[in-house]
Amino acid sequence: MPTIHDVARLAGVSIKTVSNAINDYPYMRPATKQKVIDAIAELGYRPNLTARNLRSGRSGLLSLIIPDLRNAYFAELADSVMRAADAQGLSVIIEQSGGEKDRELALLHSDRAQLADGILYSAAGLREDEAHLLTSVSTPIVLLGEHILHGPTDHVTMQNVEGARAATEHLISLGRTRILALGARAGQTDGSAGLRLTGYMQALDEAQLPFDPALVVDIVGWYRFTGADAMRRILASGIKFDAMVAFNDAIALGAMRVMQEFGIRVPDDVAVVGYDDIDEAQYSLPTLSSINPGRDEIATVAIRYLTERIASEVPLAPRDHLSQFELIVRESSR
Amino acid sequence: MPTIHDVARLAGVSIKTVSNAINDYPYMRPATKQKVIDAIAELGYRPNLTARNLRSGRSGLLSLIIPDLRNAYFAELADSVMRAADAQGLSVIIEQSGGEKDRELALLHSDRAQLADGILYSAAGLREDEAHLLTSVSTPIVLLGEHILHGPTDHVTMQNVEGARAATEHLISLGRTRILALGARAGQTDGSAGLRLTGYMQALDEAQLPFDPALVVDIVGWYRFTGADAMRRILASGIKFDAMVAFNDAIALGAMRVMQEFGIRVPDDVAVVGYDDIDEAQYSLPTLSSINPGRDEIATVAIRYLTERIASEVPLAPRDHLSQFELIVRESSR
DNA sequence: GTGAAAGCGCTAACAT
DNA sequence: ATGTTAGCGCTTTCAC
């Protein structure tokens, strides 16, 4: 690989001049610049990014820590993040934590994460009361998701309470009164589950509908199969319901599948709204109503916060951003 | 950030000694090493990876170029690649090409890709007859997928012909004789579509079943909705069939949905096998039989080939690896 | 407008 | 067993 010295020698100039040409330094004699350009072309010279990074102290790399790419929500989040990063000329290293606290901490402190200028950290294993551990990470961090709401750094996520309330209000507006809240535990108030349950209860309250704890169904791990399992338990228990707000799309799809097995018609017998608006919601049978959490906005703002943090000389106070959501009505609640 | 010099000063040794301690150089007096370790702890020293990378000429970074993470197949491929990379202590920068040739070429030649030690390139836009363009990329490349089979570098993918043949044989073994081939064009022989069609035809041949071009249904872009659209066209045309081998799971799922809308029972009326065995195949209604292409093997071998290429002093002849596949029989063909 | 030289933080050849 | 020093390839003060 030719270096800046090779170019300088061939062009008959100093390396400073080559550097000037590469970096579009304005005060150059056009002829000199042309000589350099020709030499670069002849040698096929490419500036060495690592050397630049060492000089500048920046790598142009961001690290995105998420639980698991196989989870559609995170794959779509990663997609949004990469597009937003690309628009800023940044690349993204993705690291999977598996949602395990130890691995999350290891990734945050790893040499590899240190290579990145900043970290987008979608916490899943670390608890809010352990968030102070983040202060020992020297790389700037922006938090994503609901797991840690009040950490020592910026936090960007969706309007969970409002989204769940809108979903529930929508079902109430269809005349439904016994609405299953799939994915939470009665009394829970933190995390996505707690926040969404809060929104659900607000909507009931507002409509003066009674709150029945039996309609709140706890699910550990929001996957299609846990949603399906939960629905089997519900149906076996004989609880009556005419609608369901599921706290993510995966459990909604799993539960819908079981309902269909049992001959329950969606939306006629049970109207359903999910949460996250993953791609698949548009293709399921029936198509799934959902809350679009505003992923692009989350990604864009998170990257803006992060780049500001990276550029800042002084410590910044933690900021919070809640993206705009949208209720998408599809066949499952029409 | 403290540097190796700060550590040396505090420990009262030279930077060489600090470097020795960090890199576990064996011939050291334990007391000296301990002094260094203490100084490192006191200062919270972390070796600067960029400086190391500049010295070593390696970054420990791999670039993975794929069309789109929102596509479950690529999300799962990325997952496998990241796990295999992690096992080798490597990190992965993911870049989305959108399947566009120009963007693929731009990414391959970009400064950012040059930061990586090697590139895993899942070609989608670049055609085989343009594969020579890859020779101008100085970073080692390993090709993934079916788009470019005989490029100037290593190639790792699945056994397309054999997998499709196994899927078709399976349907024939169920007594089905009019088997739709969803996703190919009669006469086509290249790309995933062509290869899988070849396997399909081999199975028919072997069973002495007639080949009916009307059963081969072309689909541009293998997504759920294109599969659904194709199935609507097929049903409108009145073509009779009792089974379907879909050339990926997404179009299988889309087509199954439309069949259900039309009251066609799967597998009773039409038995279905997909291709790729994405996660969702386990959760659809009915669950979808599929060909598991051996993603982990693909990822592991691709990374092995790539690291060997990176380490090699001399140019290596292109190698080819086809991973072991597996037919997974689920409800859709039982 | 361009050149000489220092230095980013590290590793490793060479010296002792 | 440890210290001195050059150099990875680049940007950037400081001269001229």
Using one digit for the tens of pLDDT, what is the confidence trace for B72-124?
Answer: 999 999 999 999 999 999 999 999 999 999 999 999 999 888 899 999 999 99
Question: What are the tens digits of pLDDT across the range A292-323?
Answer: 999 999 999 999 999 999 999 898 999 999 99
B55 touches chain A (CB under 8 A): no
Tokens of B111: 């400064």
The list of chain A residues with pLDDT below 70 reads none
Question: What are the tens digits of pLDDT across the range B183-231?
Answer: 998 888 888 999 999 999 999 999 999 999 999 999 998 999 999 999 9
CB contact under 8 A, B111 and A46: yes
> Closest nucleotide (CA of A1 to C1')?
D9
Return the SS3 of B219: coil
By the 8 A CB rule, do A170 and A329 touch? yes
Instruction: Return the CATH superfamily for domain A4-44.
Output: lambda repressor-like DNA-binding domains (1.10.260.40)
Q: Which of B93, B257, B262 to mutate against chain A (most A CBs within 10 Å)?
A: B93
The nearest alpha carbon in chain A to B285 belongs to: A257
By the 8 A CB rule, do B91 and B111 touch? no
**Architecture in CATH of A160-292:** 3-Layer(aba) Sandwich (3.40)
- Rounded mean pLDDT of B61-74? 95
Return the SS3 of B157: strand
Question: What are the tens digits of pLDDT across the range B162-176?
Answer: 999 999 999 999 999
By the 8 A CB rule, do B118 and B63 touch? yes
Q: Is the dihedral of CA A203, A209, A211, A214 positive or negative?
A: negative
Please report, rounded to whole angstroms, the spatial distance between the CA atom of protein residue A64 and the C1' atom of nucleotide D12.
33
Question: What are the tens digits of pLDDT across the range B288-322?
Answer: 999 999 999 999 999 999 999 999 989 899 999 99
Give the C-alpha separation, B227 to A82, whole Å.
28
What pLDDT, on a 0 to 100 scale, did the predictor assign at position A185? 85
CB contact under 8 A, B95 and A82: yes
How long a stretch of residues is chain B? 334
Residue intervals in chain A for CATH 3.40.50.2300? 57-157+295-324, 160-292
> Which 253-282 residues of chain B touch chain A by CB within 8 A?
253-254, 257, 260-261, 279-280, 282
User: Which has more pLDDT, A113 or B265?
Assistant: B265
- What is the rounded end-to-end Cα distance, in angstroms, of chain A? 63
Q: Tell me: pLDDT of B26 over 90.
A: no
> Which 12-51 residues of chain A touch chain B by CB within 8 A?
46-51
What pLDDT, on a 0 to 100 scale, did the predictor assign at position B189? 83
Smallest CA–CA distance, residue A49 to chain B, in Å, is 6
- What is the Cβ-side half-sphere exposure of residue B51, based on CA atoms within 13 angstroms? 7
Smallest CA–CA distance, residue B207 to chain A, in Å, is 35
Rounded mean pLDDT of chain B? 94
User: What positions of strand D are covered by protein, i.e. any atom < 7 Å from a CB?
Assistant: 1-5, 7-13
Please report, rounded to whole angstroms, the spatial distance between the CA atom of protein residue B49 and the C1' atom of nucleotide C13.
22
B138 touches chain A (CB under 8 A): yes
Q: Is the CB of A1 under 7 A from strand D?
A: yes
Classify residue A253 as left (phi > 0), alpha (psi -120 to 50) or beta.
Answer: alpha
Return the SS3 of B54: helix
Give the C-alpha separation, A135 to A142, whole Å.
12
What pLDDT, on a 0 to 100 scale, did the predictor assign at position A48? 94
- Rounded mean pLDDT of B220-244? 95
Locus of tokens 């049992």? A262
DSSP-assigned beta bridge partners for residue B180: B244
Give the C-alpha separation, B166 to B248, whole Å.
14
The DSSP secondary-structure symbol of A275 reads S
What pLDDT, on a 0 to 100 scale, did the predictor assign at position A113? 83
By the 8 A CB rule, do A97 and A124 touch? yes
What pLDDT, on a 0 to 100 scale, did the predictor assign at position A133? 94
Rounded to two decimals, the pTM is 0.94
User: What positions of strand C are covered by protein, i.e. any atom < 7 Å from a CB?
Assistant: 1-5, 7-13
What pLDDT, on a 0 to 100 scale, did the predictor assign at position B191? 85
Contacts of B78 in chain A (CB under 8 A): 69, 94
What pLDDT, on a 0 to 100 scale, did the predictor assign at position B258? 94
Element holding B65 (H helix, E strand) = strand B61-66
Return the SS3 of B69: coil
By the 8 A CB rule, do A78 and B74 touch? no
CA A23 and chain centroid, separation: 35
- Tell me how far CA of residue A145 lies from CA of A90, A191, B159, in angstroms: 22, 9, 40
What pLDDT, on a 0 to 100 scale, did the predictor assign at position B38? 92
Contacts of A260 in chain B (CB under 8 A): 285
Considering any atom of strand C, list protein residues whose CB lies within 7 Å. Answer: A 12-17, 20, 25, 27-29, 31-33, 51, 54-55, 57; B 1, 3-5, 15-16, 19, 22-23, 45-48, 51-52, 54-56
- What is the rounded end-to-end Cα distance, in angstroms, of chain B? 63
For chain A, give the longest Cα–Cα distance: 87
CATH assignment of B57-157+295-324, among 3.60.20.10, 3.30.70.3340, 3.40.50.2300, 3.40.1280.10: 3.40.50.2300
Please report, rounded to whole angstroms, the spatial distance between the CA atom of protein residue B55 and the C1' atom of nucleotide D9.
10
Phi, psi of A182 (to 5 degrees): -95, 115
